[in-house]
Amino acid sequence: MAMLRRALGALPFLAVVLVIVGAPTWLFLWGDARGWSDASPVTVTVPAHGVCRQGPPPENADTCRAGWQVGERLYRGEVSDRYGGSVPTGGGTVEARMVDSSSAFAVTGFHRPLLWLGLAAPWLVGGGCVLFVATYRLIPGRDPNAGRGFEREPAERFDR
């Protein structure tokens, strides 16, 4: 019984870990991962005089101002290799996927573990919250007499 209680006592810790890992991932990576999984391939052209910079993380990504066309619509935005893939360079073209049409952002690649983590992030946060609430609703307190009317009286103080 003590082993089961100890195992159940670890569940709130696991729930907090799920939320701590999932929340920032959801905030920073989920949108790009979702856009990547929607399969919107584009051929991006970086002008010869295009502005390129290092960043943002992870690692030292190259991000360049570029343009591409989807159907009849022309997009001018940024292309980046922040999750892997081909490096965009001035005066070249690169295969990418548009991950955000509102801000015209495209990425050239994605590492599978990052993609899976990004897509699973909302589920990690939701599962962590449900697990945290469930453990405190279903696991009784540490005192076996808690809530049964057997509250202890304060010990008398013996003064000598």
Helix residue ranges per DSSP H, 29-70: 30-37
Higher pLDDT, 153 or 22: 22
pLDDT at 117 over 70: yes
Closest by CA position to 80, among listed 37, 49, 109: 109
Q: What is the rounded distance in angstroms from the CA atom of residue 118 to the CA atom of residue 24?
A: 10
Indicate the pLDDT class of residue 34, thresholds 50, 70 and 90. Answer: confident
Indicate the pLDDT class of residue 75, thresholds 50, 70 and 90. Answer: very high
Predicted TM-score (pTM) of this structure:
0.62
**Over the chain, what is the mean pLDDT?**
81
Q: What is the pLDDT of residue 45?
A: 94
